[in-house]
Structure 1
Amino acid sequence: MQLITRWLIGCLGMALAGVGWAAVAIAQDVQTIYAGTPEGSVWLGVKLGEHEANILGRFTGQTYTVKTMDPAALLQAELDPLPTAIAAATDVEQLRKLSAKFAPLGVAVFNIASDDDALRQACLPGLLHTPPTARMKADAVAQWKKKKPEVEVEASAWHPDFKKFAARDLNNRFRKAHNVPMDSEAWAGWAALKMVSEAVARAQSADPKQILTYLREEMEFDGQKGIPHTFRDTGQLRQPLLMVVAGKLVGEAPVRGVVDTSNLDSLGLPSCK
């Protein structure tokens, strides 16, 4: 109970900052479509995000639902009303097609599974990416090796042993909900749903176009990694990465003593320009 209370107070503080209670009491149904197979870590992350969005929604007037669809079926569907957002765990080709279909409609499509760099370099409108790219991870490893060149290290978005910045609470909530540790794929799914709920609460709208604009231009997301995450013009989510050796968490990137630890653009392609 103490764990949920601490988390709820934090969520309410962020969502309601600068917004009066009268403004947030408007009932809204917020639907996110999950395009992918409803199984595996990324799906479990989406489900935790949906659950936590509804805890917040009890106070802010929203009800959140996630509808699952096959990506190919979604591409053929005529949706009315439009969903507030789409979270897609599918391949690069399908992500490009989803962006082409839904960007003109103003619907945010979250890529929650692919680390493909070319997909970010394409700077597709309406496509947002929660997983770090292959280049972001490679840059993190290169920074680490400037300090410890002999170490075989990997970079990841998340680790079940991460404890700082309320990460311990997030890991505990995930394990309690699903009885498995939270990994990078689960974090990417959770982050997408969490950002949708925060954007709706702050923008006071479930309109897809308003939510996409808020996400791209105003969102400062607390991914429980100690520094606000924002979106680049490539659609990529800026974020710190966690450094892992033989499965053990050993540090974070940007790497202290090599670059400024607040310089998230030291990891990966910083801009379309």
Structure 2
Amino acid sequence: MNGSLIGMGGPARAAILALGLFSAPAMAQTPPAAPAADAPAPPAAAATAPSPAVIRIGFLRSYEKTTALSVLDEPPEDIGLAGANLAIADNNTTGKFTGQNFTLETVTSKPGEDVMPAAEKMIADGIHYIVTDLSAEDTLKVADRLAPSGALVFNAGALDDSLREENCRANMLHTAPTRSMLADGLVQYLMWKQWRNWVLITGSHDKDKLFADALKNSARKFGGKILEEKIFEDTGGARNTDSGQAQVQRQIPVFMQGLPEHDAVLVADESEVFGTYIPWRTWVPRPVAGSAGLRPNSWHPSSEQWGGEQIQNRFEKSAGRRMQSKDMQVWTAIRVLGEAASRTNSVEPAKIDAFIKGPDFTLAAFKGQRLTFRDWNWQLRQPILLADDTSVVSASPQEGFLHQNSELDTLGIDRPETKCSF
């Protein structure tokens, strides 16, 4: 066999051989005899190759242009969708060899709109796989509606631990990390740095409180201390213009005055009300982490390690910008399906589903190690990147944080602690 086939996956190698792209070494032989004059003509070659089998993927997303404290943090209109488009292209590159073709059907709604009509239409159209970038509530509704059909939902947007715990579903898998995974990744790094004593500044919205709770749990888990927590109330003003830099420069230090001696400031501000104001404006000079300063992410636009430069270049060529966390989470969900279809050499949902949920499934995703699903709540194990605005500072799990099965299981809720019961 030609040496260039060595190491090629079985389905791709079989497809290449079937296409005749490689041939066995020539053997000496006598020329074939000319056909008899009355011999029938050979049948004409097929005009076209067999059509590839199609795997249809639905994508339900919620988007509305929002104002962030920094215009640099405003999510682009194609956030997540650009990752989906690249993943479809990547799947179809392999699909050329395996006889598989992946298509994407996207429905975008505004926050608060009813997503169920779109989900039900996808089910009626026979779509078995739906990727979601929705609120936790809408994600759960879609999973419950799809359950009778046997279809799978891939949650690529909602961070809520509840979707993996008390509200887990057997037909709902998660490529988005949880808040507990993000908090554990950050706290591991602070403990590794021996910065053990923190103050916590929490926003007044529900999402802020969920992230604050995750940070508190991580502190207990790894031995850190939150010495004091302060609540930053959202008064509802126009965040970009009302106060002005001069007032912010005066008000934030006063807000931070009188706190106990600490090593770092933790910020829980998923609602984008105040977090960007904290770095460089604290009463005493301290590093800031959480929703501002050093942030935990599933991905970062500057990440180029572990082959990341390759996907960044392809993504930038496709989307005209760098890849963000939401893009990577959606890309990963669709690549899970592409990998499973390729490895099983099948488009049958039963075979693909069983492989994804089986012990042999792994996915390479430019994070330094292959990713797998936790079989107790279908959360994707993954490293957490810790980054500031311009670069990746570190990646967790950190050195020295050990686990009997996988060090990635030091991030988030482990099997003995899970509340999930399918």
From 164, 172, 187, the counterpart of 2:313:
172
Question: CA offsets per residue over residues 53-104 of structure 1, 9 Å max, x none?
Answer: 1111111111110012363223433735522411111111221122112233
Corresponding residue for residue 171 of structure 2: 126
Number of aligned pairs?
262
% same residue: 29
Between 77-86 and 121-130, report the one with greater CA deviation.
77-86
1:239, 1:216 → 2: CA distance? 16
SS at match of 2:79: helix
Residue 65 of structure 1 pairs with residue 103 of structure 2: yes
Between 72-81 and 49-58, report the one with greater CA deviation.
72-81
Give the helix-richer structure, 1 or 2: 1
Query: Alpha-carbon deviation of 1:20?
Result: 5.5
SS at match of 1:77: helix
2:177, 2:59 → 1: CA distance? 20
1:103, 1:97 → 2: CA distance? 10
User: Greater relative contact order (Cα 8 A, min sep 6): structure 1 or 2?
Assistant: 1
1:62, 1:80 → 2: CA distance? 22
Q: TM-score, normalised by structure 1?
A: 0.86
Higher alpha-carbon Rg = 2
Question: CA offsets per residue over residues 187-213 of structure 1, 9 Å max, x none?
Answer: 001111111111111122222232222
- Amino acid corresponding to residue 184 of structure 1 in structure 2: S
Cα pair 2:58 2:122 within 8 Å, conserved: no
Corresponding residue for residue 399 of structure 2: 256
Residue 86 of structure 1 pairs with residue 130 of structure 2: yes
Corresponding residue for residue 78 of structure 2: 40
Residue 21 of structure 1 pairs with residue 162 of structure 2: no
Residue 158 of structure 1 pairs with residue 299 of structure 2: yes
Corresponding residue for residue 47 of structure 2: none
Corresponding residue for residue 144 of structure 1: 189
Query: Alpha-carbon deviation of 1:22?
Result: 5.2
Cα pair 2:11 2:97 within 8 Å, conserved: no
SS at match of 1:239: coil
- Relative to 1, partners in 2 of residues 1:78 and 1:156: Cα closer, same or farther, differing over 3 Å? closer
Cα pair 2:156 2:176 within 8 Å, conserved: yes
Corresponding residue for residue 6 of structure 1: none
2:380, 2:7 → 1: CA distance? 22
Question: CA offsets per residue over residues 106-144 of structure 1, 9 Å max, x none?
Answer: 222101111011111122111011111100000011100
SS at match of 1:160: coil
Query: Alpha-carbon deviation of 1:37?
Result: 4.6
Question: CA offsets per residue over residues 169-202 of structure 1, 9 Å max, x none?
Answer: 0111111111111010100011111111111111
Cα pair 1:42 1:186 within 8 Å, conserved: yes
SS at match of 1:36: strand
- Relative to 1, partners in 2 of residues 1:24 and 1:128: Cα closer, same or farther, differing over 3 Å? farther
Cα pair 2:139 2:158 within 8 Å, conserved: no
Corresponding residue for residue 4 of structure 1: none
Q: TM-score, normalised by structure 2?
A: 0.57
From 374, 381, 388, the counterpart of 1:245:
388
Query: Alpha-carbon deviation of 1:41?
Result: 1.6
Cα pair 1:107 1:212 within 8 Å, conserved: no
- Relative to 1, partners in 2 of residues 1:171 and 1:190: Cα closer, same or farther, differing over 3 Å? same
Cα pair 1:88 1:110 within 8 Å, conserved: yes
SS at match of 1:40: coil
Query: Alpha-carbon deviation of 1:40?
Result: 2.6
- Relative to 1, partners in 2 of residues 1:147 and 1:204: Cα closer, same or farther, differing over 3 Å? same
- Amino acid corresponding to residue 263 of structure 1 in structure 2: E
From 362, 380, 388, the counterpart of 1:220:
362
The runs of 5 or more residues in structure 2 that have no matched partner are 19-49, 64-76, 109-114, 196-262, 264-286
Between 110-119 and 89-98, report the one with greater CA deviation.
89-98
From 111, 120, 124, the counterpart of 2:155:
111
CA RMSD of aligned residues (A): 2.7
Query: Alpha-carbon deviation of 1:166?
Result: 1.0
Cα pair 1:99 1:125 within 8 Å, conserved: no
1:125, 1:226 → 2: CA distance? 28
- Amino acid corresponding to residue 107 of structure 2 in structure 1: M
Cα pair 1:106 1:126 within 8 Å, conserved: yes
Cα pair 2:81 2:327 within 8 Å, conserved: yes
Corresponding residue for residue 97 of structure 1: 141
SS at match of 1:176: helix
